[in-house]
Structure 1
Amino acid sequence: MGHPWVYSCLTELGVGLTREPGFHQFDVRGNAYGLLAAHPLTPLVSLHHIDHIDPIFPNITTTKEMQHFHAAEVDSQRILQQTICYNRQFSRTVSVSWGYAIQVYNKHIPLPDILPVPETFRQWKWGTVLAGVYTFNTIRFHPHPCHRPTIFFLVYLLVDAYVIFSCIQMQAPRRHCCDVLPSKSGDLLDIAIRECGEDELIHMNE
């Protein structure tokens, strides 16, 4: 939401207000991992107050971490969009945040339980009335590491071959589908992000 004084000035100039569904600013404090790894199904517009959040990527300084969003140069419309895969063979649930991180759970988790944003961050103090109020659903971030997923952060992108294959650039906001591919190596997890087929839903393999 813009500052009311700015809006008042624009109104006096005859500029109307256009409401864009899903438009919001990234404005939290502390550990922003939860919001980045499970970003709501809306385009990423801006990152505010970077100096008030913890480093986004491990072992990278604040001044360089914005440059580490290499995926924005390849597919900016889908940056941070969350995609969920289910791996039947190993009973895994894989959550991909395009350009940021992959979370791997060693069990099948229903889609409604994995979409809420883990509350790793803190709000700016707006008083007690809006405490804990967001425009998206949140979930408690489990304090014990054994109950959290294994996390893999983006290190680099290969222009001619991705570890995460992105074959088509799609318009956001729309949740995409993905497949866990047969791996060519036991040390790799190959994932293909793709446009969902007509009437296709993301579901667990029974």
Structure 2
Amino acid sequence: MSKPGRDSSSSLMKLTLSLSLFASLSLVFLHIKPAPPQQYNNINNNRNFILHNRTTADAHPEADTNISHIVFGIGGSAKNWKYRSRYTEVWWRPNVTRGFVWLDEPLNSTESYVPVRVSEDTSRFKFTCSYGSRSAVRIARIVLESFRMGMEDARWFVMGDDDTVFFEENLVDVLSKYDHNQMVYVGGNSESVEQDVIHSYGMAYGGGGFAISYPLAKELVPVLDGCINRYHYFYGSDERVGACVAEIGVRTIHEPGFHQVDVRGSAYGLLSAHPTAPLVSLHHLDYVEPLMPNKTREESVRALHRAYKRDPARALQQSVCYDLQRNWSVSVSWGYTVQIHNRLITGKELLTPLQTFRSWRSWSEGPFTFNTREESEDTCEREVRYFVSDVVGDGEGTSSVYKRFDIEGEREGCGDGASLPKSVDVAAVKMDPLEWIKFKAPRRHCCEVINEHEEETESSVLQVRIRRCKPGETLTLPPEIS
């Protein structure tokens, strides 16, 4: 049994500790007490201000980007313009397209409706690239001279070459994904790895075209001349602009629809397996074979462009399907070509570009910035190709016709029978209306071969329908086949 004195002392000590702990906790709570009413009001006012601004912006949105907001600056030379103007005239729309072709000297005469300006003298600038052309300095300054034109409502400055064909509606759709009030630099890189290694993976290649937003141009213009002098040893104009943009601190955004076409030979394999993205530009068309057989370069580009105008977003978009009755694989690159293979091929293989081309600089087998597949050495196993001949469209959808092309004697000795699509002279493609426009993350569309009756399988016309994929639909071959 404890003594009374020790019990009293122990109780007093416990009481003292309790009071001390209570005082400490009180001080803590005093330091984290709620904000006074005025602070709450400030927070609520700020929140209401943000919500009010958002509501106001939604109620009175800024006009969507359209072609009138784009200023084109096309680099060319007086010597080549008479010949090169045919490419610009394919896509330039009088009184709609804004901008100029910038030449090195005045023209003696011109029959082109594309507006022309003469660039400022650039002889004061350093240029020490032993294998390049001094014209790269002049062309690099086109963005500066275009900006100083002071064109009203300019949101984007788009640079290209006089042998670049732009697909304007798709360009507008691509640029609309980005905030033109921010500093933005959009374009593509080279298809040939050797070009990217020599020049840069990080820049946007000028022949394929690139876009600079107004705020970025505003920052770039005051420093551009000094920057051009600093990079006097660079080869190209686009290389200089890319370096100057990098010094400002803006990264390059690569969009797969800008095509430098840094390849040699035939670009068929590249275009017939186009990425799932809008076609924006094609460059170097004088350095590859005509895009379509039995046509000149200009005629084939115009044929592709006519198809594109019927349904801009769908141009070159690839769809793949199978004719299981005849064991055929069908690939449609809309508005350009249809391929029929006499065997069933996996979707992954069909979506990989045929290597019908070589690299730009060395004419080698690659490498490229994308995977390729080799053409079969056995001509009897090669696909039969059809090229667009007509496109019509209305509110009910779009119909396109593709005519067969064979190289004379190529399939001699291949034999007869349903295993070869020898009887099909025409591919007719029906497409549902406006199914693939302005999707931020588009899905490749599905297609189906339409064989309504068994006896029609030998028809000279292959009928294909392109449509939105059904839930669960894929390119997977049946288990007994794959």
TM-score range, shorter chain: 0.7 to 0.9
Q: Using the alignment, how far apart are the partners of 2:373 and 2:319 within structure 1?
A: 18
TM superposition shift of 1:76:
1.4
The letter for the 2-side match of 1:99 is G
For residues 58-110 of structure 1, give each alpha carbon's deviation from its aligned partner in whole angstroms, at most 9, with x where no partner exists: 11111222110122011211211111011111111101111111110111111
Aligned equivalent of 2:433, options 168, 172, 177 = 168
Which of 388, 406, 415 lines up with 1:154 in the alignment? 388
Deviations 1:96-152 (A, max 9, x none): 111111110111111122221111111112699xx7222221011123321201111
Q: Is the 8 A contact 2:336 2:387 kept in 1?
A: yes
Residue type of the alignment partner of 1:135:
T
Instruction: Give the structure 2 partner of residue 68 of structure 1.
Output: 303
Equivalent position amino acid for 1:102 in 2:
V
Label 1:32 to 1:101 Cα distance change in 2 as closer, same or farther (>3 A).
same
Higher relative contact order (CA 8 A, sep 6+): 1
- Aligned match of 2:328: 92
Distance in 1 (CA, whole Å) between partners of 2:281 and 2:321 is: 27
For residues 127 and 87 of structure 1, do their structure 2 counterparts lie closer, same or farther at Cα, with a shift above 3 Å needed? closer
In the alignment, the residues of structure 2 paired with residue 57 and residue 21 of structure 1 have an alpha-carbon distance, to the nearest angstrom, of: 25
Equivalences for residues 2-21 of structure 1 within 5 A: 2=204, 3-11=238-246, 14=248, 16-20=250-254
Do the aligned residues in 2 keep the contact of 1:83 with 1:176 (CA within 8 Å)? yes
| Runs (5+) with no aligned partner, structure 2 | 1-188, 190-203, 205-237, 400-427
- For 1:55 and 1:124, the matched residues in 2 are separated by 16
Q: Secondary structure at the match of 2:312?
A: helix
Find out whether 1:198 has 2:471 as its counterpart: yes
Deviation (angstroms), 1:43: 2.8
User: Which protein is bigger by CA-based radius of gyration?
Assistant: 2
Change (3 A) 1:168 1:158: closer
SS at 2:460 equivalent: coil
Q: What pairs up with 1:21-32 in 2 under 5 angstroms? A: 22-25=256-259, 26-32=261-267
In the alignment, the residues of structure 2 paired with residue 44 and residue 92 of structure 1 have an alpha-carbon distance, to the nearest angstrom, of 28
Shift of 1:203: 2.4
Count of aligned positions: 203
DSSP-derived class of the 2:330 partner: strand
Structure 1 counterpart of 2:319, from 83, 87, 93:
83
Show structure 1 runs of 5+ residues with no match: none
Matched, 1:179 2:179: no
How many angstroms does 1:183 deviate by? Answer: 5.3
Tell me whether 169-178 or 19-28 shows the greater mean CA deviation: 19-28
Quick one: which amino acid aligns to residue 386 of structure 2?
F
Aligned counterparts, 1:49-64, within 5 A = 49-64=284-299
SS in 2 for 1:154: strand
TM-score by structure 1 length?
A: 0.86
Calculate percent identity across the aligned residue pairs: 36
For 1:106, the equivalent position in structure 2 comes to 342
* Distance of 2:451 and 2:380 partners within structure 1: 27
Check the 8 A contact 1:183/1:190 in 2, yes or no: no
**Matched-pair contact (CA < 8 Å) for 2:359–2:368:** no
Secondary structure of 2:430 counterpart: strand
Query: Which is worse superposed, 65-74 or 177-186?
Result: 177-186
**Could you tell me the TM-score, scaled by structure 2's length?**
0.39
Give the whole-Å Cα distance in 2 for the aligned partners of 1:127 and 1:139: 17
- Distance (whole Å) between structure 2 residues aligned to residue 17 and residue 34 of structure 1: 30
Greater share of helix: 2
Which residue of 2 is the match for residue 139 of structure 1? 373
Q: 2: distance between equivalents of 1:45 and 1:123?
A: 22
